[in-house]
Structure 1
Amino acid sequence: MLVSLAIKNFAIVKDLEVQWHSAMTTITGETGAGKSIAIDALAQTLGERSDANMVRADEDKAEVIACFDIANLPAAQTWLEQHDLQADNECILRRVISKEGRSRGYINGSQVPASSLKSIGNLLVSIHGQHAHQQLTKPDHQRILLDEYAANTSLLTDVKAAYKNWLSVVQEFKQLKEQQDEFSAQQQLLQYQVNELADAEVQEGEFEQIEAEHKRLHHAQSLLADSQGALSCLYEGDSGNAYSATQQALSLLHKSIVLDENLSATVELVESALIQLDEGASELRRYLDQLELNPERLFEIEQRIETYMDLARKHNVSPHNLSVKEQELKDELTQLSVSGDRLEELELEIQIAEQTYSKLAADLTKVRTDYAAQLDQLISDSMASLNMPGAQFSIAISGLTTGPSASGNDRIEFMVTTNPGQPLQPLAKVASGGELSRISLAIQVIIAKRVTTPTLLFDEVDVGVSGPTASAVGKLMRKLADNTQVICVTHLPQVACFGHQQQFVQKTSSDNQTHTSMQSLTPKGRIDELARLLGGEQISKNTRANAKELLNVAQVA
């Protein structure tokens, strides 16, 4: 329940603080006095869009603070606890707006984004504006009203999630399907390339091996001559060779070591050299035995190298990396095959998603149908009480011609006949402005009862009604206040008199500045204000007597 509202430098309000009570409070005042400013200011604490024009002229900032008692509001308590904003059965919403248009929001002293104000605000207050009847002719708004009455929030969330899942799977399927022709051509190319590399039997490390063998065979004649010359120099030369010379040197050293043992290290080194020369000569003989001139093998290797080079040019890679390229192509080909398999999987997923969505949408349709029947009777009865005898209201539910949607498969349309014997027609076609206003009010009151928001604000929703109809409107709101705090801005005395308490808004000017104030009326003050609403500025004994009677009758209704 709204307990207090403090407004500072907002629009034409300099400084205002209002204490609110349970049951029904009516707000009246002269035209242009700013009766709706309190509601506009409160809307700022509920996260509505702000702008620089809301700041009073010549001031740096505007500030609005709303205090709510949430002792009996477990949903609001839970929300605050989940966001670490709880405070002993109290919720204080604050909004500060700078003259540049920037704003800051606070909940129980902690700064929060406007979206958080809006979230908690939805659990505290429901505002019904004077232009609500204009929205009433729109099918989407009609659907929203029906879903609010049916409390379909949870089911709508499930339907929306199922729809998004179905849409996502369908879109993925379509994208893959559209790529099939391109995939087919790409798959053929990849298969050809993989087959070509497979036929060539490209092996990892093979190119390095044949490259080395080609180099050896290509230079075999030179290698043979050089190796034979080296063997002659090392071991087999008749005119002298390294092995014989080293052997002769070792023989001389053996003679000398007898005379000087300091030569022993030298002898060991020369002996080692002699052994190395012998082993080197042996290795060189074996190399010469294996080395051969083989033009046929050289031709084969050159052909193999040419195969590698051709494939490397085709795939724009080094011949050393052909085996890596082959594996990459195989992986791509596998991936394309997987895409084809994915199409089959998606077809099954689409079926499952459609079934899930269809069931939830059917459940939603059934709930809507059940509650639509309730609303038909309730709104028809309420229209009769608002001086529309014989009027009939009905909610038509039909299937969407555009296919599934995130809000289900139903097209909701409010149908009405305001004259007995006339067929039901769409609301926008048959209802006059005044009738539309009354129907809108009847719907808002009935929806409000069902939604059970702790505080309901009605901002001149009685526009277009008067006389007995206005009195019926007042009775509706007073009855609604049995279980809910109702705050109603009105210009009709027949409505204002039904409030359990009444606030008067007044605009004054001084020092070239305009000020708006709000005060709680005493019983005598209420009679004077109702008399003013009944008879204008000149209040006579008769208008005051009429006002007193109006108030007395309303307070015992």
Structure 2
Amino acid sequence: MLSELSIKNFAIIETLSISLEKGLTVLTGETGAGKSIIIDAIHLLVGGRGSSDFVRYGEDRAEIEGLFLLQKMSHPIFKKALELGIEIEDDMIVLRRDIYKSGKSVCRINGKLVTISVLREIGSTLVDIHGQHEHQELMDETKHLSLLDQFGKDKVTAALEEYGQVYRNYEKTLRKLNSLNENEQQMAHRLDLIQFQLSEIQAANLKLNEDEKLLEERKRLSNFERIHEAVQLSYNGLRGEQKGLDWLGLVMNNLEDAAVLNPDYKELAESVSNSYYVLEDAARTLRSELDNLEFDPQRLNEIEDRITEINQLKRKYGPSIAAILEYGAKIDEEIETLQNKETHIEQLQKELVSLKKDLMVEGKELTSVRSHFAKELTRAIHHELKELYMQKTVFEVRMAKLENQFSANGMDQVEFYLTANPGEPLKPLSKIASGGELSRIMLALKSIFSKHQEVTSIIFDEVDTGVSGRVAQAIAEKIHKVSIDSQVLCISHLPQVAAMADTHLYIAKATKDGRTKTTVKALTEEEKIREIGRMISGAEITDLTKEHAKELLQLAHNTKVY
């Protein structure tokens, strides 16, 4: 759920901080007070298209930040965040978006800078905004298949996974076959190219980690003089008259004499004696190193040439010797395939026929499972529409076979059809006219899919326009029903909807120092009565209006309880 929303310098909002609760939150207020501006801010927060026009006049940037609390580990955002490298701690995620007056937009998720596309991808799992003219997934026929699959839950997922395993093998085999069936001239050119490449790699006779060893050897040869000087000085410091070992030998002999006279010096004498013999061994090693140190300019030239050769191969075939050798093995296999093309084509064609049969079996099983849930969904939608006084409306989930037969999602094409008037033909849901009828249809669909989409928050922006009376009451009850499974924010002008609110926020605007500001206030019970009364009768609120408002609130309470 969206727990905290902070808005600064956005349109007519100077600064606003709203704490939101579970259940149904209704936003009401006079026209132009800024209700829709708050929804616009949330829309931008989850990846909507931004504009410098949103920045409050006279300010450099608008800032929007939202804290979302995640209540289910099964929520799809955890998987998406993992894929995108975004850490989620304590089941909380913070989205932030800054829009500058230059038009630049900066997005962050849990403090990490992200692109607008990533923000939109994450945001789509958190918030679903539905306005009278903005119907999102439910009005997009390309999304109907996934909505049906969500409704089918585990059974569809299992069937789709079985199908998907075969489909991936089918696609892989098909790509190989298509590659072998390319133009003969192209194939000949390809064969010539990779034969040359393999010959070049093999001629180099590369060894793993060879480049690292060469670089180390080059470093030693390039610094020969400095190394030789350092070793020589080290040896000279230890060996020779009045040098290190002479003085240390003197100390050792004197301490040994002292230890004979006083046992307290025995441990110290042994320590110095050990150091003497260790340094004596070091001196012998240094002498041996000096005898063996030789500078070979020819070897340095050979190393430089070999490193250059390896680097040229890296530029062509891979960033490392391991990658070059791997590429060589790959094209060696491809050469064998191209040279024996006909045999491989015949083998792949047999594999493809077998896979196609398996794919058809799995595809039909997936279609069968979807057909079952399509009927279940149809029944569920009709039940919801009946509760919204649309019992004569006919809804249908239409399934058809894909023209290309197979896709990653199966063999099916799904689209929702509907007619609200008896005698009229069913039409695609995407072509239904807007208005009060459409609001009820969308609410019926939302009531079903809110349980399956796992969206954290659903926002209804004046979806109740054009309805009244018993239909308004039905819509209020339906919106509250949706809020049982998902947090719902709703801008409404219907008193019936306002009465159903678990939290009622009043949006107002005022002028101060010549500037318009928007404020938000959570209403007390008495303030709710006055606001619902205003929604019923307009500006003048009478005692009768208040009684009507109280009656609505009591009715809403009884409906929610029972």
TM-score by length of 1: 0.65
Q: Which consecutive residues of structure 1, in runs of 5 or more, have no partner in the other structure?
A: 188-330
Q: Which moved more, 1:11-20 or 1:93-102?
A: 93-102
| CA–CA distance in structure 2, aligned partners of residues 123 and 135 of structure 1 | 12
Task: Please give the per-residue CA displacement for 1:183-206, whole angstroms capped at 9, x wherever unaligned.
Answer: 79999xxxxxxxxxxxxxxxxxxx
1:71 CA drift (Å) = 5.1
Matched, 1:148 2:147: no
Task: Please give the per-residue CA displacement for 1:248-273, whole angstroms capped at 9, x wherever unaligned.
Answer: xxxxxxxxxxxxxxxxxxxxxxxxxx
Task: Please give the per-residue CA displacement for 1:270-323, whole angstroms capped at 9, x wherever unaligned.
Answer: xxxxxxxxxxxxxxxxxxxxxxxxxxxxxxxxxxxxxxxxxxxxxxxxxxxxxx
Matched, 1:102 2:104: yes
| CA–CA distance in structure 1, aligned partners of residues 497 and 190 of structure 2 | 76
Q: Which moved more, 1:485-494 or 1:406-415?
A: 406-415
2:462 is matched with 460
1:177 is matched with 181
1:451 is matched with 453
CA spacing shift, 1:10–1:79, aligned 2, 3 Å: same
| Higher Cα radius of gyration | 1
Matched, 1:41 2:41: yes
Matched, 1:339 2:361: no
Matched, 1:374 2:376: yes
Matched, 1:442 2:425: no
TM-score by length of 2: 0.65
1:485 CA drift (Å) = 1.9
CA spacing shift, 1:85–1:360, aligned 2, 3 Å: same
1:6 is matched with 6
Task: Map 1:367-516 onto structure 2 (within 5 A).
Answer: 367-419=369-421, 426-427=428-429, 433-516=435-518
| CA–CA distance in structure 2, aligned partners of residues 333 and 429 of structure 1 | 55
1:497 CA drift (Å) = 1.5
Q: Which consecutive residues of structure 2, in runs of 5 or more, have no partner in the other structure?
A: 192-332
Preserved CA contact (<8 Å) 1:97 1:103: yes
| CA–CA distance in structure 2, aligned partners of residues 333 and 449 of structure 1 | 54
2:282 is matched with none
| CA–CA distance in structure 1, aligned partners of residues 435 and 102 of structure 2 | 39
State the SS of the aligned residue for 1:504. Answer: strand
Preserved CA contact (<8 Å) 2:132 2:435: no
1:531 is matched with 533
2:326 is matched with none
| CA–CA distance in structure 2, aligned partners of residues 511 and 401 of structure 1 | 65
1:18 is matched with 18
CA spacing shift, 1:185–1:418, aligned 2, 3 Å: closer
Preserved CA contact (<8 Å) 1:46 1:121: yes
State the SS of the aligned residue for 2:16. Answer: strand
1:503 CA drift (Å) = 0.9
State the SS of the aligned residue for 1:36. Answer: helix
| CA–CA distance in structure 2, aligned partners of residues 39 and 515 of structure 1 | 16
| CA–CA distance in structure 2, aligned partners of residues 173 and 384 of structure 1 | 54
2:58 is matched with 58
1:156 CA drift (Å) = 5.6
- 1:88 alignment partner, one of 82, 87, 90: 90
Letter in 2 for 1:479: K
1:525 CA drift (Å) = 1.8
CA spacing shift, 1:96–1:472, aligned 2, 3 Å: same
CA spacing shift, 1:407–1:332, aligned 2, 3 Å: closer
CA spacing shift, 1:461–1:144, aligned 2, 3 Å: farther
Q: Which moved more, 1:389-398 or 1:368-377?
A: 389-398
2:68 is matched with 68
State the SS of the aligned residue for 2:340. Answer: helix
CA spacing shift, 1:44–1:133, aligned 2, 3 Å: closer
| CA–CA distance in structure 1, aligned partners of residues 145 and 108 of structure 2 | 33
| CA–CA distance in structure 1, aligned partners of residues 406 and 506 of structure 2 | 51
1:465 CA drift (Å) = 2.7
CA spacing shift, 1:429–1:22, aligned 2, 3 Å: closer
State the SS of the aligned residue for 1:4. Answer: strand
CA spacing shift, 1:543–1:126, aligned 2, 3 Å: same
1:424 CA drift (Å) = 5.2
Preserved CA contact (<8 Å) 1:467 1:494: no
1:366 CA drift (Å) = 2.6
State the SS of the aligned residue for 2:26. Answer: strand
Preserved CA contact (<8 Å) 1:22 1:485: yes
| CA–CA distance in structure 2, aligned partners of residues 514 and 29 of structure 1 | 15
| CA–CA distance in structure 1, aligned partners of residues 557 and 36 of structure 2 | 24
CA spacing shift, 1:335–1:478, aligned 2, 3 Å: closer
1:125 is matched with 127
CA spacing shift, 1:153–1:436, aligned 2, 3 Å: farther
2:299 is matched with none
Preserved CA contact (<8 Å) 2:432 2:438: no
Task: Please give the per-residue CA displacement for 1:432-478, whole angstroms capped at 9, x wherever unaligned.
Answer: 74323311210012100223433222222223432211211110121
